Amino acid sequence: MNLMIYKQILEELKPYHAQLIAVSKNQSMEDLLQLYQAGQRIFAENRVQNLVERKSLLPSDIEWHLIGHLQKNKVKKIISWVHMIQSIDTFELAAYVNQEAQVCGRILPVLLEVKISSEATKYGFEPESLLKSLTKDPWTDLQNIRIDGLMGMASLSSNSEQIQIEFKQLYNLFIKIKTTIPQLAFMSEVSMGMSGDYPLALKEGSTMVRIGSKLFS
Ligand SMILES: *Cc1c(COP(=O)(O)O)cnc(C)c1O
């Protein structure tokens, strides 16, 4: 891997005060360690099994984020130490994560995953159904999770206008939730932007970019 690219990405993020989430899926332990030694402390995996394995092999001051679909029966494997779950995609999952976080005596930061892509994607709230759920479902009962913001993935397209529209949609939803739901007025994170589209995501208000392939190229 080339640490010049890491440094360059950090410089690009600076003016936006955005955080770099290093997506370590498919990368070698050697490369992860090199990135750690260069100062990176936030890493993410999209599968629970990989998160568990890598956490056990790497230094303990790394903050691990889950960014992929989470099955209920895997929650217990990560709940006591995961730093953030970015992929809460149903109220039921949120309620279950909340229950297990309570067992651990912690308040877990989470993001709600929203479908913004024009492609058929399996997971995430539809923007309209998220608004409905937030006003109808008993989210305020979930005292052991803290909803810090939203996460989304744009279409894997080279059409930058399309991608920009999708990022705007996520950012606007973030603002709408903050302004219409008083309990969520403090939300501060919009996790959007990957290797191919993060410069656009930053322009549209991203606070966290999740970069994998470019970082380790
Ligand atoms: C893999 C992945 C990323 C990073 O993708 P790259 O194109 O490799 O930067 C970001 N977010 C999610 C949810 C992912 O699964």
pLDDT band at 97 (very low <50, low <70, confident <90, very high): very high
The region that residue 8 occupies, defined by phi over 0 for left and psi between -120 and 50 for alpha, beta otherwise, is alpha
Tell me which residue has its CA closest to atom 10 in ligand 1.
210
In tens, the pLDDT along 122-135 reads 899 999 999 999 99
Nearest CA to ligand 1 atom 11: 210
131 vs 180: CA distance, rounded Å: 9
Our answer on whether the CB atom of 68 is closer than 6 Å to any ligand 1 atom is: yes
Please, where are the H alpha helices in 114-159?
127-136
Give me the mean pLDDT over the 188-217 stretch: 98
**Once rounded to an integer, what is the mean pLDDT over residues 165-174?**
98
Q: Please state the rounded mean pLDDT for residues 186-198.
A: 98
Atom of ligand 1 nearest to the CA of 210: 10
What pLDDT, on a 0 to 100 scale, did the predictor assign at position 201? Answer: 98
For the cut 90, the answer to whether the pLDDT of residue 24 exceeds it is: yes
The rounded distance, in Å, linking the Cα atoms of 61 and 4 is 23
With cut-offs at 50, 70 and 90, classify the pLDDT of residue 103: very high
Q: Is the CB of 46 under 6 A from ligand 1?
A: yes
> How does 8-47 read in b/e, with b if 16+ C-beta sit within 10 Å?
ebeeebeeeebebbbbbbebeeeebebbbeeebebbbbbe
Q: What's the CA-to-centroid distance between 22 and ligand 1, angstroms? A: 9
Give the distance (Å) from ligand 1 centre to CA of residue 117. 14
The band of 195, judged by pLDDT with boundaries at 50, 70 and 90, is: very high
Q: Is the CB of 124 under 6 A from ligand 1?
A: no
Cα 14 from chain centroid (whole Å): 19
Question: Rounded to whole angstroms, how far apart are CA atoms 5 and 11?
Answer: 10
Q: Determine the Cα–Cα distance for residues 41 and 21; give it in Å rounded to an integer.
A: 9
Testing ligand 1's pocket by substitution, the residue of 210, 211, 217 carrying the most ligand atoms inside 8 A of its CB is 210
Q: Which atom of ligand 1 is nearest to the CA of 213?
A: 8
Tell me, using a 6 A CB cutoff, whether residue 22 lines ligand 1. Answer: no
Confidence label for 120 from pLDDT (cuts 50, 70 and 90): confident
Q: Which amino acid is at 35?
A: L
With a CB cutoff of 8 Å and minimum separation 6, the contacts of 48 are: 66, 70, 71, 74, 77, 78
Query: How close is the Cα of 135 to the center of ligand 1, in Å?
Result: 30
Percent of the chain with pLDDT strictly greater than 70:
100
| Buried b or exposed e, range 105-121, using 16+ CB within 10 angstroms | eeebbbbbbbbbbeeee
Q: What are the pLDDT digits (tens) for 52-78?
A: 999 999 999 999 999 999 999 999 999
